[in-house]
Amino acid sequence: MEVTLENILNVTLLEPRQKHPTIFVRFDELMEGESLTIHNDHDPKPLYYQLLGERGNIFEWEYLEQGPDWWKVKISKRVLGEGDETLGQLAAKDLRKAKVFKKYGLDFCCGGKKTVKQACTEKGLDVTMVKQELQQADTIPVSRPIPYDEWSLDFLADYIVNMHHSYVRKNLPDIKSYSEKVMRVHGTRHPELLRIHQLVEEINTELTAHLLKEEKVLFPYIREIVAAKNLAQPLHPAHFGTVQNPIHMMEMEHEVVGKNLDEIRKLSNNYLLPGDACATFSLLYRMLDEFEDDLHLHIHLENNILFPKALEAEKHLNK
């Protein structure tokens, strides 16, 4: 027999063949926004996959306790119309979650339009484990987070130029120079350095043109959108048509650079230095690691905050 208290179901009191059917009945009885907490003596993860397969992505799964004696899981039915947020949306609201994405190699900038479930499925990751760590990220203390999502579009564009574009221009020439030197000195013993240098050259070529296009074409138009909105004036048509066109181009270029850096990380085995690495070798890998971190935030601010808001603002002005 089952014991119910404040919508708690102790499944250890049920016959094995009745456990999942009973849970499904209880879940189906839930109204939107309501939850059911199950108590079990082992991890009920198979239930998660069965529920997902038979009911679809209409629930939230939250571990309240994970062994060794009891597993307690809160299963909440989603409110109709509330789907999974994307990686980019989650990171835009709280960058603490970006650390979880980085830990599992989930791309929240170029691949930020995927849901957690989609991204985990593609990489063969345990979605319940990743979601649990995302929930735990909410408890990590944070002091005065930078409110990127609250800034005006023109201010955010200026910030990107002053902080991230200037970072690229300052550091990429040194990275390019060091990669050439390290390849020349260590390339015979470490042939992956030839490809790494080639990728760095491609990144340099791509970003050099990319930053100029943003600063001379896209960002000025975004500032025009903001000015037209603030002054309640019509938006002058641009030669490229809608802002969607340059945004689409910038997103494709982001993806190219992101893939290049991802390949460098794989070739370098997550920037693991060999035993014969010299000081320049070590400096190159450290700078590449830091450069990738900065670029992830840089692309995140554009793909997940600046670009969607610019599209929405232009759409509103053209109504």
Residue pLDDT tens, the chain, 319 long: 344 447 899 999 999 899 999 999 999 999 888 999 999 999 888 888 778 777 776 788 888 888 888 999 999 987 754 456 788 888 888 778 888 888 888 888 877 778 888 888 888 888 888 888 888 877 776 656 678 888 999 999 999 999 999 999 999 999 999 999 999 999 999 999 999 999 999 999 999 999 999 999 999 999 999 999 998 888 888 888 899 899 999 999 999 999 999 999 999 999 999 999 999 999 999 999 999 999 999 999 999 999 999 999 998 887 6
The pTM of the full predicted model, rounded to 2 decimals, is 0.69
Which amino acid is present at 101?
F
Residue with tokens 């690229």: 168
The answer to whether the CB of 225 falls within 8 A of the CB of 310 is yes
Distant-in-sequence, close-in-space partners of 194: CB < 8 Å, separation ≥ 6? 183, 187
Residue with tokens 């390339």: 187
**CA 3 vs CA 11, 14, 22, 27, 292: distances in Å:** 8, 9, 12, 15, 52
Beta partners for 90? none
- Residue 304 and residue 114: Cα distance in Å, rounded? 11
- Containing H/E element for 181? helix 166-186
Residue 213's Cα: distance from chain center in Å?
24
